[in-house]
Structure 1
Amino acid sequence: MPPIFIAALVLLAFLRVAPAAAEVTLPPENDPAARGLAIAEEMDRRDSGWGDAKARMKMVLTNAAGDTSERELQFTMLEVTEANQGDWSLMVFDEPRDIEGTALLTHAHVGEPDDQWLYLPAVKRVKRISSSNKSGPFVGSEFAFEDLAAQEVGKFTYQWLRDEPCGERDCHVIERTPAYEGSGYTRQVVWIDTTDYLPRRTDYYDRKDSLLKTLTFGEYDSYLDGIWRPRELEMVNHETGKKTKLIWEEYEFKTGLTESDFSTSSLERVR
């Protein structure tokens, strides 16, 4: 499952899901673990076959006083279908000048820590992000490094909590607990609409099990006859009052990207 798409597409991950018309039969409510897993698997099942993707993104940072700053970046992603592996992604900043060329490369995994590398153009150095640092903020935003890795189903354990209205829709509410090393979250609560199985909101609880952040998904657009992408993501930090909004535009799919475009050696060539 994608990153906050981010914890989702947490990041996440690049959040990716596509609706299907067939009715979904879920395990009964008296088996919340099986029902929660089935909902997550259905959300993931509806995303396949997009191959690779490119997009442009605007990152808007807002501090507790309401002051904002903006960054422009490119985002690319490669669909990986091998067992126990997750999708690969690359984020590259274009503006402002003081962060231009900074890049984050992520290889998501299931059953072992994700691989993440940060390229710092000022020192021309590729820095590997250790598991202990993946809960830290990414370049001053409210997104952690772990939020920006593909949120694969096998990276969590699940519990169905309830069904309830969410805006104009109804949602399944599930709890997922990170099974990977070094997470900054004890658990995440995710609202997934019951019609299209699109994520609508995620609450993140810190290591003290207090509500830390909330990720809200904006309206979705459909591409490739059923691949859905949110126009905006907004992460609000309840402890600091800060928030970060990601605004997506100029999507392209099946552009011919390969694994060589997502190698550590490619980081210094991204500009």
Structure 2
Amino acid sequence: MILRNAQGQQTKRTLQIRTLERVNGKVGDKSVLIMRTPADVKGTTFLSHAKLTKPDDQWIFLPALKRVKRIASVNKSGPFLGSEFAYEDFTSQEFGKFTYQFLRQEKCGSRICDVIERKPLYRHSGYSKQIAWIDQKDAQFRRIEFFNRAGSRVKTLKFSDYRKYSGRFWRAHRLEMTNHRNGKFTALVFGQFAFNRKLSSSDFVKGSLARLR
């Protein structure tokens, strides 16, 4: 994770994300994020159980306090550990979380994208809508623009460096979130993705957050 302020000063963090993808489209994915470096955030662990139209269940373990804190449903639009990603940005993007409207087709780099408006069904979302550019060839997100509850564009997320795993799973290795209000920027630069790690629901429970490594 690369964080850069409006003056261009930059800091870096390392983290690991584990995800349990659910086959049932009516049940949300589960994920856990573990901060590795630097020392001031090391051991911070974030757990998310994605829902569809109901509030996601989210908890964070803060080593300095030595306790697990539940993220309130009305606070998920807040920044995650000082980054330009909100707590709700770190939950899985289930299809059933939004309503959709096709807007147009247009070029996005060397490809043609479908431009889609999606509105969160979650009533406490910090966003009134999102405009997503999805390329027609591989159905990959290329860009998402986020609009606050007042209808103003506040952030843009760009996806790049897509790589294919096991001949079928496309994953973007670089996500860049720009905040248009404060000029700050956060990038998530992924190393290697690994699939079929034999994770289970028991690996994603609140009581294990303090022990995860």
TM-score calculated relative to the size of structure 1: 0.77
2:96 maps to what in 1? Answer: 154
Report the counterpart of residue 62 of structure 1 in structure 2: 4
Q: How does 1:254-269 map to 2 (within 5 A)?
A: 254-269=196-211
Distance (whole Å) between structure 2 residues aligned to residue 257 and residue 70 of structure 1: 28
Distance, in Å, in 1 between the alignment partners of 2:65 and 2:174 is 32
Q: Is the 8 A contact 1:84 1:111 kept in 2?
A: no
Determine which of 30, 35, 50 is the counterpart of 1:108. Answer: 50
1:138 corresponding residue in structure 2: 80
Relative to 1, partners in 2 of residues 1:219 and 1:257: Cα closer, same or farther, differing over 3 Å? same
Question: CA separation in 1, counterparts of 2:98 and 2:194?
Answer: 29
Q: Is the 8 A contact 1:191 1:200 kept in 2?
A: yes
Report how many aligned residue pairs link the two structures: 213
User: Per chain length, whose mean CA-contact separation is higher, i.e. which structure has more relative contact order (CA < 8 Å, sep 6+)?
Assistant: 1
Deviation at 1:81, TM superposition (A): 2.4
Residue 231 of structure 1 deviates from its aligned partner by 1.2
Q: CA deviation at 1:83?
A: 4.7
> Could you tell me whether the CA contact under 8 Å between 1:192 and 1:201 is conserved in 2?
yes
The answer to whether residue 26 in structure 2 is matched with residue 84 in structure 1 is yes
Deviation at 1:235, TM superposition (A): 0.1
Structure 1 residue 82 displacement after superposition = 3.1
Mapped to 2, the partners of 1:77 and 1:257 lie a distance apart of 8
- Cα contact 1:232–1:245 (8 A) shared by 2: yes
Runs of 4+ deviating beyond 3 Å = none
Distance in 2 of aligned mates of 1:166 and 1:100 = 38
Alignment-derived partner of residue 245 in structure 1: 187
**Aligned-pair distance for 1:84?**
2.5
d(CA) in 2 for partners of 1:187, 1:223? 31
**Which structure dedicates a bigger proportion of its chain to strand?**
2
CA distance in 2, matches of 1:114, 1:84: 13
**Match of 2:105, as an amino acid?**
D
1:170 aligns with 2:112: yes
After superposition, residues 121-136 of structure 1 pair within 5 angstroms as 121-136=63-78
**Structure 1 vs Structure 2 CA RMSD:** 0.8
Q: If each structure's helix is expressed as a fraction of its own residues, which one has the higher value?
A: 1
Q: Percent identity?
A: 50
Aligned partners of 2:119 and 2:25: how far apart in 1? 21
Q: Does 1:73 align with 2:15?
A: yes
Please point out which of 94, 114, 117 is paired with 2:59: 117
Q: In structure 1, which of residues 180, 188, 199 is the aligned counterpart of residue 122 of structure 2?
A: 180
Residue segments in structure 2 that go unaligned for 5+ positions in a row? none
Question: Following superposition of structure 1 onto structure 2, how do residues 22-61 of structure 1 map, counting pairs within 5 Å?
Answer: 59-61=1-3
Q: Distance in 2 between matches of 1:110 and 1:211?
A: 24
Distance 2:36 2:17 in 1: 11
Check if 1:224 corresponds to 2:161. no
Q: Verify: 1:234 aligned to 2:192, yes or no.
A: no
User: CA shift at 1:204, angstroms?
Assistant: 0.2
The answer to whether 1:191 aligns with 2:126 is: no
Shift of 1:250: 2.1
